[in-house]
């Protein structure tokens, strides 16, 4: 559930449910998807959330793919555990863990858009933790937070049973002093001391006292809280307070591991804590407010501090590939406006252009409309490929390489649709033969493109929210173009015509077949070719919209704006040109144009902002 789907759904449905109901719905839904075959690949395709290698860390002999973790308060039932490890998190906190589930528990609630956690918050029993962890293949570290009310005996039981499954434990300073100091079992594990900002009044004294224990791995500093009756919520100044304390602790003991819990709702706030010296960050209610894309956006903000754009020399062949498709589309458009059919078409059909005009002039008009639409789609595809090469592959953006080659391979496979009715277009075949070596070199140079995306965007402002709705509309646009291409290709290799086509032609398939047995195969080949081109362009628009939306990425807006115009102009213009203007036939195109225009308007401030 990326941000572009989370926020509309949250506004329309989730905010109207109880916090627990909406929480469990989201977590269980995502975990179910992550559990089915191909589910994790689907999540990665939709969100591209995998943490970049540049942010990997090794702490206490455990590898953390990312410094960003999730608080146990947000998933006390462990229902989303399977999904979180594919949403970009580098580790997960579970708990508070108890031996037996308490009789009194209170769910969180929302007041004035603020999440309130109960002092009697939900806790997870040890048996449930063990059952969950034994059935899951966790690939990221887990930190187990032990409840503050457990006894010495319960502490030992929890530590002994969870040792094989977790990478560290979190407890209070009182628990560490009482249960860990002289316990031989505990000395073998890493413990992190959970402390509040109030406990850090005498930072130097507390730090030196706790670091005397050899099993202490570091501190978990919790964001300052405010209380209302029996509920609490994070203070508005949490980020500033945490940054100040982290900096002071690091100045006293630079080698100590410091983990912050809370105080992060935006990428900029995460950057502030990292710059102050925090080694790991645990997200709390800020994750709920900002959306599941927050870890990804934090990664991109942190990477912005580490790397700068690197222009590679490995984009010439990719640019040439797109340019070739663009030129091919222009040539196809020229023939569609002039002769429509070529000599080898006439030879296969057994009729000349003049003969067909004498039988029914609308037949050539109909063939012209398919070929114009194909040409416009090819020109759009060429623009999209060129833009991906010039601005993405040239600047070492790995996601652009995936989008480029996925669509190109699908386009090459589409050549087999041309012969679905027994007609092979030699000009198309020659065109693909020319493209094939160009694409071969493009694919080879693309192997060197490995860069992760980065961004300076740090705030959850209104411009970003409008951008999410614009992104959603473009994703819908790309998906519907893709589906439309599949439908048209299927029709092209099966029944060829829809009812409105036959109404325009004023002829039945039998009548066309009577004119020439080879007339319908030529028309079918045009349809299938157009559908195949739509599939490639739909994939490009979809992947650019899914993976390319970042603040100030002006070229993304320009690409979507310019790239769609030839296809839309050809798609609508050709129907007006030949007089085939049946409303129901053009309704899908009208709807796509509306999505396109609204998407451009809503995403303009976000993408075009410098």
pLDDT digits (tens, 9 = 90+) for 208-261: 666 666 677 888 999 988 888 888 888 888 999 999 999 988 888 888 899 999
Instruction: Kindly tell me if the per-residue pLDDT of 337 is higher than 60.
Output: yes
Is residue 378 very low, low, confident or very high in pLDDT (cuts 50, 70, 90)? very high
Q: Which residue has the higher pLDDT, 412 or 214?
A: 412
pLDDT, mean of residues 383-403: 92
Instruction: Kindly tell me if the per-residue pLDDT of 204 is higher than 80.
Output: no
Fold of 3-306: TIM Barrel (3.20.20)
Q: Strand 191-196 to strand 168-172: parallel, antiparallel, or no bridges (unpaired)?
A: parallel
Strand segments (E) across 441-553: none
Instruction: Kindly tell me if the per-residue pLDDT of 126 is higher than 90.
Output: yes
| pLDDT recorded at residue 476 | 95
Q: Which of 94-98, 178-182, 538-542 has the lowest mean pLDDT?
A: 178-182
Q: How far apart are CA 66 and CA 91, in angstroms?
A: 7
Instruction: Kindly tell me if the per-residue pLDDT of 201 is higher than 70.
Output: no
| Residue 399, phi-psi category: left (phi > 0), alpha (psi -120 to 50), beta (remainder) | alpha
| pLDDT recorded at residue 307 | 65
Instruction: Kindly tell me if the per-residue pLDDT of 480 is higher than 90.
Output: yes
**Domain spans in the chain, listed from the N-terminal domain onward:** 3-306, 316-449+461-608
pLDDT, mean of residues 175-188: 64
| pLDDT recorded at residue 418 | 64
Is residue 145 very low, low, confident or very high in pLDDT (cuts 50, 70, 90)? very high
pTM of the model: 0.89
**pLDDT tens digit string along 105-124?**
788 888 877 888 888 888 99
| pLDDT recorded at residue 529 | 84
| pLDDT recorded at residue 409 | 92
DSSP string, 108-153: -EEETTEEEEETT---EEHHHHHHHHHHS---S-EEEEEPTT--HH
Residue 80 in tokens: 């989303």
The CA R_g of the chain, rounded to the nearest whole Å, is 30
Q: Hey, CA dihedral for 154, 83, 469, 392, is it positive or negative?
A: positive
Cα atoms in the 13 Å half-sphere on the side-chain side of 87: 26
- Chain-centroid distance of CA 259 in Å reads 27
């Amino acid at each position: 559930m990326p941000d572009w789907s989370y926020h509309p759904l949250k506004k329309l449905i989730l905010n109207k449910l109880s916090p627990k109901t909406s929480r469990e719905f989201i977590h269980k839904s995502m975990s179910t998807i992550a559990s089915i075959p191909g589910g994790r690949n689907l999540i990665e395709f939709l969100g591209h959330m995998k943490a970049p290698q540049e942010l990997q860390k090794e702490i206490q002999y455990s590898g953390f793919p990312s410094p960003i973790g999730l608080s146990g308060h947000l998933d006390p039932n462990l229902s989303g555990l399977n999904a979180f490890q594919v949403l970009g998190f580098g580790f997960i906190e579970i708990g508070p863990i108890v031996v037996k589930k308490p009789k009194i528990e209170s769910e969180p609630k929302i007041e004035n858009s603020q999440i309130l956690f109960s002092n009697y918050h939900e806790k997870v029993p040890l048996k449930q933790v063990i059952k969950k962890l034994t059935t899951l293949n966790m690939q990221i570290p887990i930190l187990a937070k032990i409840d503050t009310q457990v006894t010495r005996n319960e502490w030992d039981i929890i530590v002994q049973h969870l040792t094989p499954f977790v990478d560290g434990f979190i407890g209070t300073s009182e628990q560490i002093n009482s249960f860990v100091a002289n316990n031989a079992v505990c000395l073998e594990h890493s413990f992190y001391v959970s402390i509040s900002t109030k406990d850090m009044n005498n930072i130097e004294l507390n730090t030196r006292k706790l670091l005397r224990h050899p099993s202490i791995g570091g501190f978990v500093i919790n964001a300052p809280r405010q209380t209302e009756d029996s509920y609490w919520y994070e203070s508005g100044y949490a980020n500033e307070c945490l940054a100040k304390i982290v900096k002071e602790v690091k100045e006293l003991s630079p080698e100590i591991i410091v983990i912050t819990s809370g105080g992060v709702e935006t990428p900029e706030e995460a950057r502030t804590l990292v710059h102050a010296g925090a080694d790991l960050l645990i997200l709390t209610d800020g994750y709920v407010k900002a959306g599941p894309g927050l870890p990804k956006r934090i990664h991109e903000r942190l990477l912005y501090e580490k790397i700068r754009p690197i222009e590679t020399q490995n984009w010439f062949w990719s640019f040439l590939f797109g340019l070739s498709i663009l030129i091919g589309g222009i040539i196809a458009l020229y023939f569609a406006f002039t002769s429509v059919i070529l000599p080898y078409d006439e030879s296969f059909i057994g009729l000349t252009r003049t003969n067909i005009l004498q039988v029914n002039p609308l037949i050539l008009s109909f063939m012209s409309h398919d070929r114009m639409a194909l040409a416009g789609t090819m020109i759009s595809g060429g623009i999209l490929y060129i833009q991906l090469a010039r601005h993405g592959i040239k600047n070492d953006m790995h996601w652009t390489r995936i989008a480029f080659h996925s669509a190109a391979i699908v386009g090459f496979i589409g050549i087999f649709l041309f012969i679905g009715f027994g007609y092979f277009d030699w000009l198309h075949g020659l065109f693909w033969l020319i493209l094939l070596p160009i694409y071969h070199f493009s694919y080879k140079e693309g192997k060197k493109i490995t860069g992760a995306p980065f961004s300076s965007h740090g705030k959850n402002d209104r411009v970003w929210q409008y951008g999410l709705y614009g992104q959603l509309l473009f994703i819908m646009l790309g998906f519907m173009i893709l589906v439309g291409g599949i439908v048209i290709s299927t029709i092209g290799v099966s029944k060829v015509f829809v009812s409105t086509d036959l109404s325009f032609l004023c002829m039945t398939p039998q009548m066309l077949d009577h004119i020439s047995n080879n007339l319908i195969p030529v028309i079918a080949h045009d349809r299938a070719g157009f559908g195949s081109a739509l599939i490639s362009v739909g994939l490009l628009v979809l992947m650019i919209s899914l993976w390319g939306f970042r603040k100030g990425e002006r070229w993304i807006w320009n690409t979507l704006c310019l790239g769609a115009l030839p296809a839309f102009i050809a798609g609508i213009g050709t129907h007006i040109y030949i007089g085939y203007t049946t409303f129901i036939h053009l309704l899908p195109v009208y709807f796509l144009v509306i999505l396109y225009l609204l998407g451009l308007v809503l995403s303009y401030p976000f993408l075009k902002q410098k």
